[in-house]
Amino acid sequence: MGQGFKSKHKVAIGALLLASLAAPLAARGADLTFQPPREYRLRFYNTHTNERMEIVYRRGDTYLPAALDRLDHFLRDSLTGDIHHFDPRLFDLLYDLTSTLQNVDGEIDVICGYRTPKTNEYLRTRSAHSGVAVHSLHMQAEAIDIRLPGIPTSQLRDAALRLHRGGVGYYSASNFVHVDVGRVRQW
């Protein structure tokens, strides 16, 4: 038994040695080729519901359906509670916007997300919301009104215009910026 055990033992040690030599090489090779997919994270504060949310909505090129569901709920019509599926390109726009302002970890204050046609009409007929359009992209869940605490709204507007992706509306009196993923335009 002694002899057989020894030789088996030697083989095992040899394999271990080989493995320990090979492992660092493999790891080094992996470091060069493997890049973990980028995480797209956003932080929100909803000024109507007082809710907060920090969420990874996309990993690499993949949007995360459960995260998008949560965002749809978070950005619901604040008057009626109705939910609409948001165009995820809007979240990419917000991500790039906060990135260009070096504010990726900062909170985005949400003034308005989705609006039902009924809510849109209600707001439109009140003088305090003279900026509400008849065919607002808020009704297609393709628009959001925001401000970034600590960043002047004019700076936020300029950064949104530089992205050249969709509409940018500047509401200096109410201190927020409208961004959407519709046609490139400005008001």
From 52-60, 84-92, 95-103, 178-186, give the range in contact with Zn ion by CB under 5 A.
178-186
Contact 42, 104 (CB under 8 A): no
Q: Reduced to 3 states, what is the DSSP secondary structure of residue 155?
A: helix
Among 77, 87, 142, 145, binds Zn ion (CB under 5 A): 145
From 32-40, 61-69, 71-79, 174-182, give the range in contact with Zn ion by CB under 5 A.
174-182
Identity of the residue, 71 or 143, whose beta carbon is nearer to Zn ion in the bound complex: 143
Q: Is 157 in the site for Zn ion (CB under 5 A)?
A: no
Q: Is 178 in the site for Zn ion (CB under 5 A)?
A: yes
Identity of the residue, 64 or 163, whose beta carbon is nearer to Zn ion in the bound complex: 163
Q: Rounded to whole angstroms, how far apart are CA atoms 176 and 127?
A: 17
- What are 62's two structure tokens? 């993949």
Residue nearest to Zn ion (CB): 178
Q: Which helix (H) or strand (E) holds 164?
A: none
Tally Cβ neighbours within 10 Å of residue 43.
15
Number of residues that bind Zn ion (CB under 5 A): 3
Tally Cβ neighbours within 10 Å of residue 153.
17
Task: Give contact residues for Zn ion (rule: CB under 5 A).
Answer: 143, 145, 178
